[in-house]
Structure 1
Amino acid sequence: MLLITCPWCGPRDETEYHYGGQAHVPYPQNPAELSDAEWAEYVFYRDNPKGPFAERWVHSTGCRRWFNVLRDTATYEVLASYRPDEPRPGGNR
Structure 2
Amino acid sequence: MLILECPYCGVKAEETELSPGHEAHLKRFGPGSSDEDFESYMFARKNPKGVHFERWRHSYGCGKWFLAARCTATLEVFGTYPAQTSEPPPDIVAKIKARRPEWEGYK
Matched, 1:7 2:17: no
Gaps of 5+ in 1: none
Separation in structure 1 between the aligned mates of residue 44 and residue 31 of structure 2, nearest angstrom: 19
Equivalent pairs counted in the alignment come to 91
Equivalences for 1:39-50 in 2 at 5 Å?
Answer: 39-50=38-49
**Greater relative contact order (Cα 8 A, min sep 6): structure 1 or 2?**
1
Comparing 81-90 and 16-25, the one that deviates more = 81-90
Comparing 2-11 and 51-60, the one that deviates more = 2-11
Separation in structure 1 between the aligned mates of residue 27 and residue 35 of structure 2, nearest angstrom: 17
Report the CA distance between 1:47 and its aligned residue: 1.5
Equivalences for 1:5-84 in 2 at 5 Å?
Answer: 5-9=5-9, 10-28=11-29, 31-84=30-83
Instruction: Please tell me the root mean square deviation across aligned C-alpha atoms, in Å.
Output: 1.7
Matched, 1:92 2:106: yes
Which has a greater percent of helix? 2
Separation in structure 2 between the aligned mates of residue 11 and residue 39 of structure 1, nearest angstrom: 35
Gaps of 5+ in 2: 94-104
Identity across the alignment (%) = 41
Report the CA distance between 1:12 and its aligned residue: 1.3
Detail structure 1 runs of 4+ shifted over 3 Å in the superposition: none
